Amino acid sequence: MSNDLNATHDPNLRSWVETANVAGCDFPIQNLPFGRFRPAGSNEPFRIGVAIGDRVLDLEAAHVLEHSDMNLVMSASPAERAALRALLSEDLREGSPRQNHWELALYAQADVEMALPCTIGDYTDFYTGIHHATTVGKLFRPDQPLMPNYKWVPIGYHGRASSIGVSGQRFKRPHGQTKAPDAEAPSFGPSKRLDYELELGFFIGEGNAQGEPIGIAKAEQHLFGVTLLNDWSARDLQAWEYQPLGPFLSKNFATTLSPWLVTMEALAPFRARSFDRPAGDPLPLPYLDSDVNRHTGGLDITLEVWLQTPKMRDAGVPATRLTRSNAAQAAYWTAAQLVAHHTVNGCNLQPGDLLGSGTLSGPEPDQAGSLLELTLGGKNPVALPNGERRTFLEDGDTLTLRGYCERKGAVRIGLGEVSGTVF
C-alpha cells in the first residue's frame, strides 16, 4: 500500500547530492518527485527526471528508463512503482557505487525548462474544501450555505484539460458576459473579479476498464501522486453563468500546476485521519467508507499562497504571504473517496487523469484559499505591506502556491511551488 513506511522513508538517509541534505530542502532523498524537463533554451524532447536537492536526474541518461513517456511510468502496478522508488533511493544515497555514473546525468534545476509532468487526458475539479464551500455559500445563500447533497456526495465538474499549464504560466485576463444586479441585460468585457484557488491535484496511475468501478479499498492503488494546483476563476463570469449547469468560461481559460509530481509513496509518513466530521453529519455511504480511509485517508500538507504585485517586483520587494492552511483540516472528502465516487457509475479513468481537490481553505479567516473569501466577496480589500490593496487580482500580479509536509520523526518534503501571472 502507498501509505506503508519502508527503507526509502528512513529519516537518517543522506544523498551524495549534497543540496538534498540541506535542512528545509523541498526535495531530499526521502521525496524523489517526478517531472518532465529539457535543457533551457533547447529544442530537445522533454524527458523524465527526478528532483533531488537543487538538481534533476535524467532517468534515461542514468539508464533507469528506456523511454520518456511519464504516463507509461504512471500506469505501472504499485509493486513496480515501489521497486522504481527503491532503486532510485538506493543509488542516490551516500556510498552508492552509481554516483560517478549518475553525476553525469544531473542537471541544475535552474538550467532546465519544465513541462507538465505528464499528458493530461481528462480533468475533473471537485469541491472538497468544506470551509471554502461554507464561507462562499454564506455570501450567496446565508440561510443555506451548503446544499443538501454536499455532505453525502463529492461534488465535482469536468474541467478543461487543454488550458492547463505548468508553473510560470502567463495568461490573458479572460473576457465574457457579466450582469450587474441592477442591469436589465448582461454586458461583455474583461473580468473584473479575477481570483485564484488554492488546490491540490491528484494524478491517476493505473486506470480501470469502463463499467468496472474502483472500490474504496483499492482506490489508493490507482493514485500515482499529488501536485499543487491553482484553478484561476473569473468570479463575475461565474456568477452569471453557473446556473443551472455549473462553471464554464469562468474556469476554462487557465489552470496552473506545479511541475513536480510527489508520489503517494513519498507521502506515506504524512498520512492523517480523514476529515473529523462534526456530530450530526451523516456517515459516508458504504462505497465511500472504510476503516483504512477513516484513519489514513487524509494528507497532512501545509499549503501557502503568496502574492507579488508589479510595484513590489519593480521595487525588489519579495512576495507576501496571504494564506496558510492544511489539506487534512480542509478537505471533507479524501482522494480515495474521489476515485471511488468518480468510477462508481462505471466511468473509466486513465493514467494521467487529473482530479482537483477544490479550494482548501482552513476554518480561520487568514486560512482562506481565495480572494473571494479573504475579501468577503470584495467587501473588505486585503491590505498589502507596501500600502497597496487588493480585492481581486490586477494585471501583472504573480500568484504563487507552495506546499510542504513536516512531522516529528520524518524528514520534511516539499511539493515545490506553482506560480502564474495575469496580464
Domain of 371, CATH number, reads 3.90.850.10
Domain end point (choices 65, 99, 115): 115
In terms of C-beta density within 10 A (0-12 exposed, 13-18 middle, 19 or more buried), how is residue 146 classed? middle
Note the pLDDT of residue 1.
52
Is residue 195 one of the residues assigned to a domain?
A: yes
Note the pLDDT of residue 3.
76
Q: How many angstroms separate the CA atoms of 346 and 343, rounded?
A: 5
The answer on 393 and 246 residing in a single domain is yes
Domain end point (choices 115, 145, 171): 115
The answer on 173 and 96 residing in a single domain is no
The answer on 145 and 263 residing in a single domain is yes
Question: Helix, strand or coil for residue 364?
Answer: coil
CATH number at residue 49: 2.30.30.230
The answer on 414 and 266 residing in a single domain is yes
Is residue 47 one of the residues assigned to a domain?
A: yes
pLDDT mean across residues, the chain? 97
Note the pLDDT of residue 140.
86
Tell me, yes or no, if 222 is annotated catalytic: no
Is residue 140 one of the residues assigned to a domain?
A: yes
Domain count, the chain: 2
The residue length of the chain stands at 423
The answer on 135 and 106 residing in a single domain is no
Look up residue 192 and give its amino acid. Answer: K
What does DSSP assign to residue 275?
P
Domain end point (choices 69, 90, 115): 115
Is residue 2 one of the residues assigned to a domain?
A: no
The answer on 293 and 194 residing in a single domain is yes
Is residue 1 one of the residues assigned to a domain?
A: no
Give me the domain span that covers residue 22: 7-115
**Per-state percent for the chain, helix, strand, coil, to nearest 5:** 25, 25, 50
Which of the residues in the chain have pLDDT under 70?
A: 1-2
Q: Which residues pair with 89 in a beta bridge?
A: none
CA distances 192 to 19, 98, 145, 238, Å, are: 43, 55, 25, 12
The answer on 154 and 101 residing in a single domain is no
Catalytically annotated residue among 9, 132, 222, 341: 132
